[in-house]
Each structure stands twice: as C-alpha cells, then as structure tokens.
Amino acid sequence: MNDSMNMSSRVRLGIDDGQRTLTDLLNGPMIRFNEKPDGVLGTTGIYLVYEGNEPVYAGSTNNLRRRIFTQLFSGRNHYFATQMIEQRFHDLEKFQHYLISQCSVQSLTIDTEDHAHWLERYVIGVIRPVYNGGKRAYSKA
C-alpha cells in the first residue's frame, strides 16, 4: 500500500513538473531565426519550433544554441531539418529561407539531459507537433 502511494505521489509530481515546465516554455520569448540567439544558452534544454503560431517540432538537447542555430539551420544532424528538406523543400537554401521568414523558436534550460528527454516526451504528448508525428493540438494564437 505504501509503495503504491509512493508511486502515485511520484507520478503526480512528474505530471506537475511537466505542466510547470510546459507553461514556462510556452510563456518564454519567441526567437526568430534571423535574430541573434543571445537568449539561448549553450546548455541542456528543450525547444519548440513554430511555423507562424503553430508548434511543428519539439526537441531536447545538451546544447540549445548549437542544436537550434547550427544543426537545425544547417540541415545537418537534425531530424526535423532532414524531414523538411527531403519531403517539402528539396533544397537547403529554400529550407533556410522558410526558417527565417516563417519560423521562430522557444527554448527552456533544463537541469539534466535525462530530465530534458522526459520533458520533451511530455511536451510532444501534450502539444503533439506535426513533425514529431502528431496532429496539431495547440496553437499560440
């Protein structure tokens, strides 16, 4: 009985943590891809890529600045970028123009990689970004 109460408490704390983190992420500043990423640190965290007001991709990383503004923008070593280039744009320059003209990103620093991965799965489950295999369930409008 005590073990189930402990498990129930841990689950509730996990959900509460996920909800707080999601709120913090969604209330954070939107950064355009043509802006200097001064607000994005080279630390572990989670991020959301938006097309207009629609979150289209969620990810986690051990280096937010490198992941978002180097790997994503260059189209290398990034699932979302690879999918967009192969399926929609067929050209890196067109993809980069799309990022600059239509997209923005929000990010949030997280304490550990394991925590960031857990929170990424939570965010994907709640928001269901289309390029994470979901159907859009959230709009920032």
**Which H helix or E strand runs over 18?**
helix 2-26
Class level of CATH domain 2-132: alpha beta
Q: Are 75 and 68 in contact (CB under 8 A)?
A: no
Cα dist from 9 to 13, 52, 61, 115, 118, whole Å: 6, 38, 28, 18, 17
The pLDDT of residue 140 is: 56
**Residue 106 token pair:** 């929000």
- Domain assignments of the chain as residue spans, ordered by start: 2-132
List pLDDT tens digits, range 40-87.
Answer: 778 999 999 999 999 999 999 999 989 988 899 888 888 899 989 999
List pLDDT tens digits, range 84-123.
Answer: 999 999 999 999 999 999 999 999 989 999 989 999 999 9
The pLDDT of residue 141 is: 53
Residue type for position 50: Y
- Indicate whether 5 pLDDT > 60: no
Q: Are 45 and 123 in contact (CB under 8 A)?
A: no
C-alpha–C-alpha distance, residues 103 and 114, integer Å:
27
